[in-house]
Structure 1
Amino acid sequence: MRFLDRNGGETKAKLKAALHQLARDQREQLIVTAPDGAPVACYALVEAERNLQVPLLRLADHAIAPTLGRQLLWHLREQARTRGCSVVDITDPHLPPHLQNIARREHYQHVGDHWYAVVVDQIGTGAEISAATTQAYRQAGLAAAPLIPARIDADTAHHYERVWWPAKIIDSELPHFAVLIRPVWSSELFGVPAPLLKRRADLAFGREQVYFRSGRNSTLTTPSRILWYMSSSRRDGPAAIIGTSLLDGITTGTPDELFTAYGHYGVYHLANIYDAARDGRAQVLQLSDTELFPKPVDRKNYDRLLRIHKGPQSIQSPVNVSPELFTAIYRLGQG
């Protein structure tokens, strides 16, 4: 059996009994297969008092295991948020060692026989986010979260927002930008608008992405937060702000250099990067934790917000956005 923990003393009989018990309890179960059809992961989920419990989580030894492991742990956070849960609680006593290593890097906390991740679905001040996180920690039986002071530096805010995703700390030094993206690329990268062809599984299921653009007229800095302003098109309709991402890194270079280093992460071909480049130079944005708005903010609503909060009228190249305007857009986009 591909998912048997032989080194941990698990027997085939024990694993079969656990699977049968999950089936009898009608737990939600899923098997993930590789492009070659081989089963590479399986998990089971159950909701209990705002906790998303994961009694089974296995990852087979396969070439795509490192990438898939990160995607699965990110997917569990997304599932928790969708279901209104504030804690992911992995209780599988036979969690594979390589998946444990990935969980540590993905900021899951190992306490006893549990691996926890908190999901703080709130935008607010550092003090408000700390209070919400402490409530989630106590729900999992953990100690209080650290108190985040006002005007905390961008690197620290970026760290906490990744650990407590989708938390947004609005009184930190983390800057905000709006970036233009054409529908053809937002469709490939984010699935908005819906693509005509099926997206690559690693893009549809992943926590990290990259986006190639011209290196000219860039005010972007890292770490920071991006609002994605999708331009209008005849097929896809009027322009709208469709979501937000954390910007983790920026690299500028020739199209060949960038494609060699990052091409396997993105949706561009080398020719597309040459088209985007100016004076032989292009830029790659390294992104994480993208959230798509359930209700994209169209130009009419954006202009309405500009009458209350100062902000850029034109978003043809990356532009700064105030924390107040970001907060208003985010809340409107969340519905």
Structure 2
Amino acid sequence: MRVDLSLLMLAGARGHAWALSDSAGGPLAGLALTRAGNEVTVHLARVSQGPLQDVLARYIVQYLGAATAIDEHTLVRVIDPHLPPAVHDSLASAGFEQAAGIYVAPRLRGLLSATDAAHALCELSGNALDGSKVLRRVDQISRDGASPTEFLALEAACAPLTLAEPSIPVWSVPIRPQYAWELLGVGESLFTRKDSLGISVEHVYYTGATALPPAGSRVLWYVSGENTPAYVAQSVVAASGRVPWKEAFRSNRRLGIYTRDEVRKAASPSGKVGYITFGRTRPLPRAVALDRANVMASDLGTKMMLRSPWQLPAALATELMEVAFELKQ
């Protein structure tokens, strides 16, 4: 991978530069961008050819959202004329649209309704997104409503947006502190995360429970066993199922940190285990303590179920998200 150092020099006070190298110091990936107002220009987005190029490309595109994470909406342009094919593919799958060799995408932040997201897009884009798929999708949703899948597609196209739409199913899923650190990057540990997890954008979770969130659900991760148990992160489910534990381990081994023995122990006496593959994981802006969640549930006439995956009532899910995004004290 050849890197133009003059482009990296664009970082400094006006921007941001990031690089990933292998154990020998060889370059694996690089990103350089500058900011002007609410627009970000990516001058360099590269990955080296090799077995990890697709994973690295997905990672740097996801990292791009984090690197521009200032508390405002942003329009991102990628103008690197030498993008590797893997980065082209990752930008397209992340909602970027291409015109005249430039990729453009809105990055909306916070918890917004579809209507508020539409208003934010119009204010942000000016003429940059005229006729774009994302604006057409917003117009269609505003007129006709949308399915949970369509809402989540819009959310992905404007990531790190979180849409506050009651039709999106939200599940509470418990996770132990050590797994929360490894799979979600939330919490603390004496050990560093595995490199393979650090660049992965999709992971797997195993459970002995029979109720599993289906693909297209939102997960709120509840960390158990801590001094202050709380909801700490959210993800979107890519797939789930219940199969013989050996099959689950073999199919998903590349995605997680569970050992063969841990997956076996999670299985039922019949030998089957539940798995949830998930991505688009982000820490919640504010952790919601269990005590607070219990009060919310009681006020709504329900009771929290914390030992296994559980679909939250829509009203409780909405209130939890509003507290997590600091829209409600």
TM-score > 0.5 by shorter chain: yes
Instruction: Verify: 1:316 aligned to 2:304, yes or no.
Output: no
Match of 1:242 among 232, 245, 259: 232
**In structure 1, how many angstroms separate the alpha carbons of the residues matched to 2:285 and 2:74?**
19
User: What are the equivalent positions in structure 2 for 1:17-28 lying under 5 Å apart?
Assistant: 18-19=6-7, 22=10, 27-28=15-16
Tell me the TM-score normalized by structure 1.
Answer: 0.86
- Output one character per residue of 1:44-88: Cα deviation in whole Å (capped at 9) or x when no partner: 121111122211222221221111000000000122234634222
The answer to whether 1:260 aligns with 2:218 is: no
1:20/1:254 CA distance change after superposition, 3 Å: closer
Partner of 2:180: 186
Shift, 1:40, TM fit: 1.4
Asked whether 1:293 is paired with 2:281, we answer no
Q: Corresponding residue for 1:227? A: 220
For 2:192, the equivalent position in structure 1 comes to: 198
Structure 1 residues 139 and 185: CA distance shift in structure 2, 3 A = farther
Contact 2:166–2:318 (8 Å) recurs in 1: no
Alignment match, 2:2: 3
Aligned length: 319
CA distance in 2, matches of 1:27, 1:81: 12
* Distance in 1, Cα, partners of 2:200 & 2:318: 25
The C-alpha deviation readout for 1:119-150, integer Å capped at 9, x for no partner, is 12132332222222333333744344422247
2:265 is matched with: 275
Confirm or deny: 8 A CA contact 2:109 2:160 kept in the other structure: yes
**Correspondences of 1:1-335 after superposition (within 5 Å):** 2-3=1-2, 15=4, 18-19=6-7, 22=10, 27-82=15-70, 84-138=72-126, 140-143=128-131, 144-145=135-136, 146-147=138-139, 148-149=141-142, 152-171=146-165, 173-214=167-208, 216-232=209-225, 236-279=226-269, 280-335=271-326
Q: State whether residues 75 and 205 of structure 1, in contact with CA within 8 Å, keep that contact through their aligned partners in structure 2.
A: no
- Tell me which residue corresponds to 1:9: none
For 1:194 and 1:42, locate their aligned partners in 2 and report how far apart those are by CA, in whole Å: 27
Q: What is the CA–CA distance in structure 1 between the aligned matches of 2:24 and 2:167, rounded to whole Å?
A: 46
**Partners of 1:255 and 1:282 within 8 A in 2:** yes
**Cα distance in 1, alignment partners of residues 152 and 280 from structure 2:** 11
Deviation at 1:3, TM superposition (A): 1.8
Deviation at 1:302, TM superposition (A): 1.2
Structure 1 runs of 4+ aligned residues shifted over 4 Å read 23-27
**Which stretch of the first structure deviates more once superposed, 236-245 or 129-138?**
129-138
CA distance in 1, matches of 2:251, 2:64: 29
In structure 2, list runs of 5 or more residues that go unmatched.
none
Return the TM-score normalized by structure 2: 0.87
Give, as a single letter, the amino acid of the residue that structure 2 aligns with 1:130: A
Distance (whole Å) between structure 2 residues aligned to residue 244 and residue 307 of structure 1 = 23
Question: Within 1, Cα distance between the matches of 2:316 and 2:100?
Answer: 43
**Which amino acid letter does the alignment assign opposite residue 33 of structure 1?**
S
RMSD, aligned CA: 2.4
CA contact (8 A) 2:288 2:320 kept: yes
| 3-state SS of paired residue (1:258) | helix
1:213 shift after superposition: 1.4
Describe the shift of the 1:317–1:158 C-alpha distance in structure 2 as closer, same or farther (beyond 3 A): same
Contact 1:90 1:115 in 2 (8 A): yes
